[in-house]
């Protein structure tokens, strides 16, 4: 599916305060590109023997097809030891139906696509994957190594039906991109910080129907970012979704997360900063289900894991949290509501409604608000905007906190000492929500 418009999929009536600003995805289909030209990496020296480096062949195929065509990586196992920077593409696609296994040890980006428009990267079988084998770095304590995939200055694009596994560092970064769509993805990393799933600092991006397993960011927005819609996301034993870390000159607006399921993760959603400056405006966090997470809603303007930066704090304005259900691990230690804003940059127009979370351990939970103004829970409903701290102890379970679980909830995290298996891409990412499109492999089988 291509040229996805928020109006075409019927989202326009729902988008009240923060959503997409226009169409996303490639402007022509992969089939149209393929009809123009196909550049099979086997014709450029690639060998599916899991030992011959595919890097040079992939680069050569890209050069041959970047002005209009499809770079085709057939089913098979390929070694990948020399990274590629694929630049200046127009009307092009990469069809990854094979599996790339990292064998090189350089840092940087295994695949970087930049300065490219009308682009698609996908698997037609939904079985294409990049196996980063990050455990080979992590088992000795190393935090170095390459990212798996980075897009920089790419417009009108999609990435879909791929698995990104065990990145040495980050899995997928969207850097200064526009009008993009990421969907039908499975990302599986180790139980270690710094192994982000999807990081977005871009404009007009739709991320949906993805599963992330790691111990850092699930799907995270960074600055600058505008008109980002994230929905139908399964954080399955992860760090959880977040915004930040936010520093100086922050410029983030019109951000929506909806239908987010979080299992056994660090948090359901966190906005993190410590000092800094700039603005976050128009954020909607809607339809969240959580179970067994350390934190639930965690807005922290003095995040201790981040060194304090210059400035009075990042100003948060018009943040709506609605329809949250489920359980947190220990509500006395980490209550389901923590809204801790900077005293000199208090949060304004914060709304918390239809919020029903309860503790899995103990018989009470403690909510905390600092310098946060609006309505709901422990927020202060005033316009004096002076510094304050309030804690509220809740001793009985709220009505309606019970929520569904997912059949694929992991029993334990993947470690960092052995290879992580390549998963099949799920067909469900949030209880009761139907993915926007079926897997490409299923479409191919039925056609």
| Residue 331: strand, helix, or coil | coil
- Do 315 and 349 touch, CB atoms closer than 8 A? no
- Do 297 and 326 touch, CB atoms closer than 8 A? no
Q: What element of type H or E holds 442?
A: helix 440-446
User: Could you tell me the two tokens for 197?
Assistant: 């799933």
Contacts of 300 (CB under 8 A, 6+ apart): 270, 271, 272, 273, 338, 340
Q: Which of 216, 254, 298, 300 is catalytic?
A: 216
Integer CA distances (angstroms), 72 to 79, 86, 120, 163, in order: 16, 14, 12, 17
For the question of residue 291 being annotated catalytic, the response is: yes
Instruction: Return the residue matching tokens 């959580």.
Output: 290
Instruction: Return the residue matching tokens 């510094």.
Output: 387
Distance CA 439, CA 183 (A): 9
Q: Which of 200, 193, 199 is nearest to 238 (CA)?
A: 193
Q: Is residue 411 classed exposed, middle or buried when 0-12, 13-18 and 19+ CB atoms within 10 A define those classes?
A: exposed
Q: What is the CA radius of gyration of the chain?
A: 22
Q: Which of 291, 388, 386 is nearest to 339 (CA)?
A: 388
Strand partners, 116: 154
* Number of helical (H) and strand (E) elements in the chain, helices listed first: 4, 24
Q: Which of 216, 345, 226 is nearest to 274 (CA)?
A: 345
Q: Which of 160, 171, 208, 291 is catalytic?
A: 291
Q: Which of 85, 83, 91 is nearest to 30 (CA)?
A: 91
Q: Give the residue numbers marked as catalytic.
A: 216, 291
């Amino acid at each position: 599916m291509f040229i996805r418009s928020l109006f075409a999929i019927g989202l326009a009536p729902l988008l009240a305060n923060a959503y997409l600003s226009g169409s996303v995805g490639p402007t022509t289909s992969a089939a149209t590109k393929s009809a123009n030209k196909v550049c099979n990496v086997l014709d450029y020296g690639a060998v599916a023997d899991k030992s011959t480096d595919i890097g040079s062949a992939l680069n050569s195929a890209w050069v041959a097809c970047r002005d209009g065509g499809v770079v085709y990586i057939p089913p098979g196992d390929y070694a990948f030891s020399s990274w590629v920077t694929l630049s200046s593409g127009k009307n092009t696609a990469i069809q990854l139906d094979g599996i790339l296994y990292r064998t090189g040890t350089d840092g940087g980006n295994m695949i970087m696509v930049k300065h490219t428009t009308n682009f698609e990267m996908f698997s037609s079988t939904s079985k294409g994957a990049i196996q980063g084998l990050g455990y080979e770095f992590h088992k000795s304590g190393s935090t170095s190594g390459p990212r798996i995939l980075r897009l920089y200055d790419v417009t009108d694009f999609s990435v879909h039906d791929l698995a990104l596994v065990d990145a040495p560092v980050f899995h997928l970064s969207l850097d200064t991109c526009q009008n993009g769509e990421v969907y039908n993805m499975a990302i599986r990393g180790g139980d270690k910080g710094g192994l982000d799933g999807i990081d977005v600092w871009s404009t007009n991006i739709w991320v949906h129907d993805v599963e992330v397993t790691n111990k850092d960011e699930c799907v995270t927005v960074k600055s600058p970012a505008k008109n980002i819609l994230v929905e139908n996301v399964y954080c399955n034993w992860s760090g959880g979704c977040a915004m930040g870390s936010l520093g100086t000159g922050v410029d983030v607006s019109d951000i929506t997360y909806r239908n987010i399921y979080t299992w056994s993760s660090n948090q359901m959603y966190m906005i993190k900063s410590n000092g800094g400056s700039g603005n976050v405006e128009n954020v909607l966090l809607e339809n969240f289900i959580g179970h067994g997470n350390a934190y639930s809603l965690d807005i922290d303007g003095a995040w201790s894991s981040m060194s304090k930066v210059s400035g009075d704090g990042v100003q948060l304005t018009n943040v709506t949290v609605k329809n949250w259900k489920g359980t947190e691990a220990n509500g006395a230690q980490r209550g389901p509501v923590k809204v801790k804003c900077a005293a000199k940059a208090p949060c304004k127009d914060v709304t918390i409604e239809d919020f029903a979370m309860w503790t899995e351990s103990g018989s009470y939970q403690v909510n905390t608000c600092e310098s946060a103004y609006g309505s709901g829970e422990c927020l202060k409903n005033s316009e004096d905007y002076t510094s304050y701290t309030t804690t509220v102890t809740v001793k009985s379970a709220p009505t309606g906190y019970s929520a569904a679980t997912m059949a694929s909830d992991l029993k334990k995290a993947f470690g960092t000492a052995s290879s992580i298996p390549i998963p099949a891409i799920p067909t469900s990412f949030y209880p009761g929500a139907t993915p926007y499109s079926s897997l490409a492999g299923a479409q191919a089988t039925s056609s």
